[in-house]
């Protein structure tokens, strides 16, 4: 079984196994590797995902690859074409706008629910993330900023205590990760995002669900405008 061509995006897949053993959980390992490669942009939108090529790259049989592609299709990360081939799902400008409309409302709901039952532990963890983001903004380290931003929103959605909301927001977050480059590369965005985060944290801390929801929605609207500006190079 020959491996993929070195210039093929699939050739990057082995590093996403991250040393994880595949024995006994091959499908999980292949799914995780493919998912992370797609979210990182190593497998860009519209990339062909051929079972034999992926199997060769990961040194597994085609059966777990086939099942992994089904899973990713259910998650909306891959699509079957009319010719029965699988590609990384493309994202149009309309898709991006629709994504931010959904995320704005879901993030607002998550912040509202979190504000209904704030805890000192939650506020402490959010403030700790904010402090890490402030450090990363001084360098600046946009990769670190992006990772801490994901952690910030994860804490809030988990604090909301609604597993459906948690799942839907996690899927929306995955979709956002597919949009290069990070908005934190935009001059001035790190500082404004940290300020927007702080408004959300303080509203949650004060137990003000209306203010928390409004702040979270405004944060998402700002993120959308920055995202569009980056994509349109304006």
pLDDT tens digits, 146-193: 999 999 999 999 999 999 999 999 888 888 888 877 899 999 999 999
Q: 79 pairs with which residues across the strands?
A: 87
- Average pLDDT estimate for 89-118: 94
The rounded mean pLDDT for the chain is 90
CATH number of 93-231: 1.20.120.530
For domain 9-88, give the fold.
Arc Repressor Mutant, subunit A (1.10.10)
Q: 80 pairs with which residues across the strands?
A: 86
User: In this model, does residue 82 exceed pLDDT 80?
Assistant: no
What are the residues whose beta carbons fall under 8 Å from the beta carbon of 184, sequence distance 6 or more?
Answer: 140, 142, 145, 146, 149, 190, 193
What are the residues whose beta carbons fall under 8 Å from the beta carbon of 148, sequence distance 6 or more?
Answer: 129, 132, 133, 136
Among residues 66, 75, 81, which one has the least CA distance to residue 30? Answer: 66
Dist CA 226 CA 234 (whole Å): 9
Dist CA 80 CA 49 (whole Å): 10
* Spatial contact of 123 and 205, defined as CB atoms under 8 Å apart: yes
Q: What is the pLDDT of residue 229?
A: 87
The helix/strand/coil state of 78 is strand
The helix/strand/coil state of 17 is helix
C-beta neighbour count of 7 within 10 angstroms: 6
Dist CA 74 CA 78 (whole Å): 8
Q: Which residues of 133-150 are buried (b: 16+ CB within 10 A; e: fewer)?
A: beebbeebbbebbbbbbe
Q: What is the pLDDT of residue 173?
A: 87
Domain extents in the chain: 9-88, 93-231
Question: Band of the pLDDT at 213, cuts 50, 70, 90?
Answer: very high
- The size of the chain, in residues, is 234
Kindly report the pTM of this predicted structure: 0.78
Task: Give φ, ψ of 78 to 5 degrees.
Answer: -130, 160
* Spatial contact of 17 and 29, defined as CB atoms under 8 Å apart: yes
């Amino acid at each position: 079984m020959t491996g993929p061509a070195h210039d093929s995006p699939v050739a990057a897949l082995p590093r996403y196994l991250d040393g994880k053993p595949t024995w006994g959980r091959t499908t999980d390992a292949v799914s995780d590797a493919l998912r992370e490669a797609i979210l990182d942009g190593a497998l860009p939108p519209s990339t062909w995902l051929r079972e034999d090529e992926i199997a060769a790259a990961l040194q597994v049989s085609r059966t777990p690859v086939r099942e992994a592609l089904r899973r990713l299709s259910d998650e909306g990360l891959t699509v079957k074409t009319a010719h029965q081939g699988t590609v990384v799902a493309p994202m149009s400008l309309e898709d991006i706008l629709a994504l931010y409309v959904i995320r704005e409302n879901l993030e607002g709901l998550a912040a509202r629910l979190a504000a209904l039952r704030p805890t000192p532990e939650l506020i402490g963890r959010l403030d700790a993330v904010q402090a890490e983001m402030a450090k990363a903004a001084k360098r600046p380290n946009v990769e670190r900023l992006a990772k801490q931003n994901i952690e910030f929103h994860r804490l809030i959605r988990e604090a909301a205590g609604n597993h459906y909301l948690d799942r839907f927001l996690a899927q929306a977050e995955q979709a956002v990760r597919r949009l290069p480059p990070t908005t934190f590369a935009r001059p001035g965005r790190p500082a404004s995002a940290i300020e927007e985060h702080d408004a959300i944290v303080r509203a949650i801390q004060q137990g003000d669900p209306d203010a928390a929801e409004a702040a979270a929605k405004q944060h998402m609207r700002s993120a959308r405008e920055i995202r569009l500006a980056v994509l349109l190079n304006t």
